[in-house]
Structure 1
Amino acid sequence: MFQMIFLQASEPGMMNMLMLVAFIAVFYFFMIRPQMAKQKKEKQFRSEIKKGINVVTTSGIHGRIVEVNDTNNTVVIETGAGKIRFERAAISMELTKKYSESK
């Protein structure tokens, strides 16, 4: 009887369906879910940008934020070469914490 139940459970169609469900679950938990969490964290960071923090842009420019304009979602970053206006979405990460930890 147990042999008959085992043989029924190992049908090719059922096994393929199980593999497909397992593949989708692994894909979701290792690819999609972490990416969604990362996007949420970046969106929160960009909404909390304030004057005086050191940042890096997506193009690799390092500087300090000297002005935040909420009406058109731009920030002015002071670099060694002068002041540059960027879109808020172009800010990649904050460096203020990294600088203070290394000192």
Structure 2
Amino acid sequence: MFASPAYAQAAGGSAAGGIAGFIPIILIFAIMYFLMIRPQQKKMKEHTAMVKALRRGDQVVTQGGVIGKVTKVKDDSEVEVEIAPEVKVRIVRSTIVQVMNKTEPAEAVKK
């Protein structure tokens, strides 16, 4: 007796009401994309470009806070950094956070 009025109310809904319920969720995802995901992707792209552009003589800061000068670029994933006179360490490129002083390319110095 009590269930029949409830079924009658639920059956009267339209399909447009269901789609309108998804609009706020879609808007939330769009806002999240533009405020969080997109800036993070841009930051990652800039970091990758900075790490690829490392050269000998650049002064860098690592994630651990160690400041040193790049003495040798070994391969795509590793560089050698001098952190004190005659003290050189091998560092993974992706752990370099900032390049403090960039060296000029050899061609620009000769001109």
Q: TM-score, normalised by structure 2?
A: 0.69
Percent same amino acid at aligned positions? 30
| One-letter identity of the residue aligned with 1:54 | Q
CA distance in 1, matches of 2:92, 2:28: 39
Residues 1:48 and 2:53 are matched in the alignment:
yes
CA distance in 2, matches of 1:68, 1:14: 56
Residue in structure 1 matching 2:31, options 16, 22, 26: 26
Q: Which residue of 1 aligns with 2:41?
A: 36
Residue in structure 2 matching 1:87, options 55, 77, 92: 92
Aligned ranges 1:8-19 → 2 under 5 Å:
13-19=18-24
Aligned residues: 86
CA distance in 1, matches of 2:77, 2:50: 13
CA distance in 2, matches of 1:27, 1:88: 30
SS across alignment from 2:97:
strand
| Stretches of structure 1 lacking an aligned partner (at least 5 in a row) | 1-10, 98-103
Q: TM-score, normalised by structure 1?
A: 0.74
SS across alignment from 1:25:
helix
| One-letter identity of the residue aligned with 1:42 | H
Q: Deviations over 1:46-78 (max 9, x none)?
A: 1111111110011111111111112x6211111
CA distance in 2, matches of 1:47, 1:86: 14
> What's the CA shift for 1:14?
4.2
| Stretches of structure 2 lacking an aligned partner (at least 5 in a row) | 1-15, 103-111
SS across alignment from 1:95:
strand
CA distance in 2, matches of 1:56, 1:18: 45
RMSD: 1.9
CA distance in 1, matches of 2:77, 2:38: 28
